[in-house]
Structure 1
């Protein structure tokens, strides 16, 4: 499981969360994943000098506050028989919030990022079957009224993403 610090897509300024040193250590540590043991939270808590209960409380609080956008396993959709693609939209600034909410409402949207480019909204789609990619793209186009640019993977690279806090 990995923790992903939140990246708001709203054009409005987002207040900065108050994180103490333990929160920062926890977020940084969880981005490296959990150990595959019977009590992974207890192991990580001990590494950080916390009780398991305090670690779980902090994790829940960080998720509820939106400091973390997600906490869960990272699956390789294609190896599990699913589909995966990178997609983008050219969203008019006045519609950005509405389109962001519409896109993020799809459970197949794994990550969604704002970019300084003509194609200013980029997102990853992960589906149960490869055929579902085209269906979800059509559904997003219908929900947003905008064409989706599909950019399927041609070659795979492993890039370790770690966003230190």
Structure 2
């Protein structure tokens, strides 16, 4: 990663224009050509310097639903249950934790009813209790990590 990559990463954490040519607009602000910006973003994604590049949507504001859920998974079933949970398109990400509830995942759906159905389906397919932990209050943290 060079200084130009760092400038790109730092700039894109604070917003991306909504316009007819957002990459061109961003490239010009960074003193780059549109193609150079696109090539660098492609490389940063391919070499996994960036894990993703894209918008974050407020699912609830759009009528959807999301929640954090957890399961107590026996160690010998962890891989099996991971595969079951990850097969659900509603699961945004899934990770292991060193806790009695050792599997945590986020579900996002288009409607609250779909969220409840996904939770029930995961319970039915795994045979394990899914603990639903919906957000009560949202706080804006404004996290920005300088590259």
Q: TM-score range by the shorter chain?
A: 0.7 to 0.9
**C-alpha deviation, 1:53, in angstroms:** 0.8
**C-alpha deviation, 1:131, in angstroms:** 0.7
Length-normalised TM-score, structure 1: 0.70
Unpaired stretches in structure 1, ≥5 consecutive residues: 1-18
**C-alpha deviation, 1:95, in angstroms:** 5.1
1:40 is aligned to 22
Mapped partners of 2:73, 2:107: distance in 1: 18
Q: Select 1:125's aligned residue among 107, 132, 137.
A: 107
Q: SS at the partner of 2:112?
A: coil
Q: SS at the partner of 1:126?
A: strand
Question: How big is the alpha-carbon RMSD for the aligned residues of Structure 1 and Structure 2?
Answer: 2.7
**C-alpha deviation, 1:114, in angstroms:** 4.1
Are 1:24 and 2:3 counterparts?
Answer: no
Q: Residues 91-150 of structure 1: CA distance to partner in whole angstroms, max 9, x if unpaired? A: 455655554454344332234444343333332211011011121123333455543211
1:1-165 correspondence to structure 2 within 5 Å? 19-92=1-74, 96=78, 99-165=81-147
**C-alpha deviation, 1:42, in angstroms:** 1.5
Change (3 A) 1:140 1:21: farther
Structure 1 ranges of 4+ moved more than 6 A = none
Length-normalised TM-score, structure 2: 0.77
Change (3 A) 1:114 1:23: farther
Change (3 A) 1:36 1:127: same
Unpaired stretches in structure 2, ≥5 consecutive residues: none
Which is higher, the Rg of structure 1 or of structure 2? 2
**C-alpha deviation, 1:83, in angstroms:** 1.1
Change (3 A) 1:22 1:152: same
Of 125-134 and 145-154, the range deviating more from structure 2: 145-154
1:8 is aligned to none
